[in-house]
Structure 1
Amino acid sequence: MSALDAMYQQLILEHAKSRSGSDLTADEATSMPHQPGVGQCHQLNPVCGDEITLRLELEAAGSQPTVKGIHWHGDGCAISMASASILSELSEGASPDELKEMIGHFRELMRSRGRLEPDDEILGDAAALAGVAKYPARVKCAMLAWVAAEDALRQAVASGR
């Protein structure tokens, strides 16, 4: 294992343990808030049982809204929990377009089967998950929170109009 792979593995384990953004309670996860600029999505990986409920909040900031925060409740493997934690940190302060770009790059990386190098400037710490792309059975684990965020963002933008 290279030094970079070891560093990435350590980052994944730290995020899986500390879980940034996992402050949505089980009760909050079962009720959808009806507020402008808020979206929520539940995703389940039926193959392994990983699941997440993710709530995304936008706030008005000048001419374009920004992501105020991503809050989630979930249970699953280290990859899915670390991925949600990393996404929660990366998304804060991003515009909807910037978040869509991040999600698109992450999806492309995960679908590459390890042939693409991550763009650290766009993906930040999510680049640590690049090695997952070599294992198709684990890609869904890494994508779970990102798919939920994509749908929650769509809802939040639509409800904020």
Structure 2
Amino acid sequence: MANEQDIYEEHVLDHYEDPYHRGVLENATHEDEGKNPLCGDVIQVTLRLDDEGRVAEAWFDGEGCVISQASASMLIEKIEGKTPEEIRDFSANEMLELFGPKLTPNRQKCCLLSWRVLQSALHSPIEDDDEDDSDGPSFGGPSLGEES
């Protein structure tokens, strides 16, 4: 397997230190979040699909190791302009190739976290909350919080 130093190749460190589109996309149409319970890495992916269904913008946020954060940056940069079908066809092996350095199976989970979250974000449209801001059904009377 890889020498531990090989993981920190220049392009990996560049994405870790100066990530592409890190933050939360305010006008997102799709989003999801995932975590690697083995190490605590967390990734949130927010997407805005345009009228043609392509990814107009993609952002990620989260915390974790160099591998999880750098691979998220690489992935987000790669998928902008792609259709959901193109993203679904992008395999886990292709994600590992995009990252570059060979990884042990446990470190592959760090690298693939953003890929898994992206795949599920495509199936997680953000609901339009403009119509009703309540947290549940409304029965026309005071809420429990309003009673004294």
Superposition TM-score, scaled by structure 2 size: 0.72
1:96 matched residue in structure 2: 84
Q: AA paired with 1:45?
A: N
Structure with bigger helix share is 1
Match of 2:116 in 1: 147
Distance 2:17 2:85 in 1: 30
What amino acid is aligned across from residue 128 of structure 1 in structure 2?
G
* Counterpart residue number, 2:39: 48
Letter in 2 for 1:47: L
Tell me the SS of whatever aligns to 2:59. Answer: strand
- Secondary structure in structure 2 of the residue aligned to 1:22: coil
> Structure 1: where are the runs of 5+ without partners?
112-117, 119-125
Specify whether residues 73 and 110 from structure 1 end up closer, same or farther in structure 2 by C-alpha distance, changes over 3 A only: closer
TM-score by length of 1: 0.66
Q: Which runs of 4+ in 1 moved over 6 A?
A: 5-8
Gaps of 5+ in 2: 128-148
Percent identical residues: 30
Q: How many residues align?
A: 123
Q: Does 1:22 align with 2:22?
A: yes
RMSD: 2.8
Q: CA deviation at 1:91?
A: 0.5
Partners of 2:7 and 2:93 lie apart in 1 by: 23
Secondary structure (helix, strand or coil) at the match of 1:93 reads: coil
Shift of 1:57: 1.5
| 2:18 aligned partner, one-letter code | S
Report 1 or 2 for greater relative contact order, CA contacts < 8 Å, sequence distance ≥ 6. Answer: 1
Matched, 1:58 2:49: yes
The 1-side partners of 2:94 and 2:76 are apart by: 18
